[in-house]
Amino acid sequence: MRAILLFIALLLAGPATAAACPPLLDLKLPTLTEGEASLCRYQGKVLLVVNTASQCGYTPQYEGLEKLYRRYRDKGLVVIGFPSNDFGGQEPGSNKEIAKFCEVNYGVSFPMFAKSAVAKGTINPFYARLAQVSNSRPRWNFHKYLIDRKGEKVLAYESAVTPSDPKLLGAIERALAQP
């Protein structure tokens, strides 16, 4: 009898569906170029999320971020940029100007979302979640968050930690090795 009830319950439930999007990623946000995009598209990937700026001393990190993305994207890493003008007014351009700057100067091919606040004012909701989960808020441009494949574990790295820093590379490789 128990087996029959279980069978009926499975039939009523319908076909199995893909895993639900992790709460951390369950957002749609505007991108630099495509309109809105769901962060759920990155579930199952390791994410390196970075708040960027075009006129900052750390701006050359774009080059290292692009190298990281190209090196590890086939293994499941996605670098995601979030331009912000929160620190020193170092990202004054429009989304269109930022997109052009990134492409022309650094050949950025990783996903870039629209310019938004990451530390003050009306904070981007994704950054509000990242700050809460990691207990770390960006204090300057090029602050980094590393998110595991499950969208649960979040590590934070200060701006001075470069994309080629052994500590960051080791954490990325460990995250990529996890199912």
The catalytic residues are 56
Mean pLDDT of the chain: 91
How many Cβ atoms are within 10 Å of 18's Cβ, its own excluded?
8
Q: Tell me: the pLDDT tens digits for 93-127?
A: 999 999 999 999 999 999 999 999 999 899 999 99
**Which of 146, 56, 162 lies closest to 105, judged by CA?**
56
CATH 1.20.210.10 applies to domain 20-169:
no
Q: Tell me: the pLDDT tens digits for 49-70?
A: 999 999 999 999 999 999 999 9
Instruction: Give the pLDDT of residue 11.
Output: 39
Q: Bridge partners of 50?
A: 81, 144
Q: Tell me: the pLDDT tens digits for 28-49?
A: 999 998 799 999 999 999 999 9
- Over pLDDT 70: what percentage of the chain? 89
